[in-house]
Structure 1
Amino acid sequence: MSCKVQAFKMLTSARKKLMKNLKDLQRDPHPPPGISAAPEENNILLWNAVINGPEDTPWSGGTFKLTLRFAEDYPFYAPKVRFVSRMFHPNIYEDGRICLDILEDQWTPGLSRVESILISIQSLLCDANPDSPVNSEAARLFSENKREYNRRVREIVEQSQAVV
């Protein structure tokens, strides 16, 4: 098989997988609560998503925007996921990139459903890993001063409500 044919199959495979995922999301009578996602109008490889903060957590009431950028080699490689909304979290970089094992070294093609990715990110909000921080200030407050950490999170939640 030539390289051109192989590349075309990969391109087709990624786009077909994303189209199927979109159809499944649209048909789901019980979508995951607090999560929504859809591709850009003319680009199935670029998705916009919204995650609501989990109830009964400091993130509750927040509405956080993200982008998911898929490559032609998807689902063999994880998408590049980034919060567009401002965040304050031990495992989220200031520029919105997310430090999460399933988006890095623990990615498998079986995790490729968009809603599964977003559910994992939503869970990360209240299940921070301060031992592997990318935001040292958030990690320090999370570990040493939970009250101040929660206050800062509530500020982010209020800002997210003003933007929506």
Structure 2
Amino acid sequence: MSSAANTLQRQFKDLIRSPVPGFVVDLKDENIFEWSVAIIGLPNTIYEGGYFKATMTFTNDYPFRPPTFCFDREFYHPNVYEDGRLCISILHPPGDDPVSGEKAEERWNPTQSVESVLMSIISLLADPNCSSPANVDAGVAFRKDRALYDEIVKKQVELSKQDIPTGFKMPTSEKDFMIAAPVEIEEDDNFWYESGDESDFDAEDDVDFEDDEDDD
């Protein structure tokens, strides 16, 4: 198993045991390098009741290179491009960027994790960075016409409800979004991954949760 796959397997298992409130994560087609992420709109915000699906994609260089995060549907927000790609400092390559003015400590570094990315996304939804918008129109509306901005977001909230899985119980109160105690998960010796690169996949190497039980 590649180092990237091992790291992602461990982080995925940690998120299943101790979920980040407001997020649902899963693997796409059992591919450890491609995650399905759903953001659940927090109560008492303009996103309340929303179920926003996205895809998080990792490379074989993870965690030395950041993942990408892309909403599956159009997402109206100053820091989301029209094609759904999220623009946030923590997902920008490591190092200072004199063009944007971003410092290295604001950008990706190998000590970051999927959990830290998800927490940053929650902060960005509540407090957009309008100084360098990916969606200029959304940035202008957020600053100068909040009523219009909120109206557009509420429409996308209603549209997102079409993606709520059958049988899924949506949280409805702030208490539902509180961090819960870790839960035990059933170990699966048959858990496996795809990298998209045949050179990194050995058909005889099954991912075994027990092998990395003591990893940090």
Q: TM-score range by the shorter chain?
A: 0.7 to 0.9
Map of 1:1-164 to 2, 5 A cutoff?
Answer: 12-28=2-18, 31-105=19-93, 106-112=107-113, 114-164=114-164
- Percentage of matched positions with identical amino acids: 42
Structure 1, residues 71-126: CA drift from partner, whole Å, max 9, x if none?
A: 000000100110112210010001000110000140011112x2221221122111
Residue 133 of structure 1 deviates from its aligned partner by 0.6
Residue 33 of structure 1 deviates from its aligned partner by 1.3
Contact 1:53–1:62, Cα closer than 8 Å, also in 2: yes
Residue 39 of structure 1 deviates from its aligned partner by 1.7
Q: Tell me how many residue pairs correspond in the alignment.
A: 151
For the pair shown, the structure with the greater C-alpha radius of gyration is 2
TM-score (norm 1): 0.86
Residue 42 of structure 1 deviates from its aligned partner by 3.3
The code of the aligned residue for 2:12 comes to L
| Aligned CA-pair RMSD | 1.4
Gaps of 5+ in 2: 94-106, 165-216
User: Which has the higher mean CA deviation after the structures are superposed, 87-96 or 51-60?
Assistant: 51-60
**Aligned-partner Cα distance in 2 for 1:163–1:49:** 12
Structure 1, residues 15-34: CA drift from partner, whole Å, max 9, x if none?
A: 00011112212222xx2211
TM-score (norm 2): 0.66
Residue 132 of structure 1 deviates from its aligned partner by 0.8
More helix per residue: 1 or 2? 1
Higher RCO, 1 vs 2 (CA within 8 Å, ≥6 residues apart): 2
**Aligned-partner Cα distance in 1 for 2:24–2:111:** 20
Contact 1:86–1:96, Cα closer than 8 Å, also in 2: yes
Residue 129 of structure 1 deviates from its aligned partner by 1.0
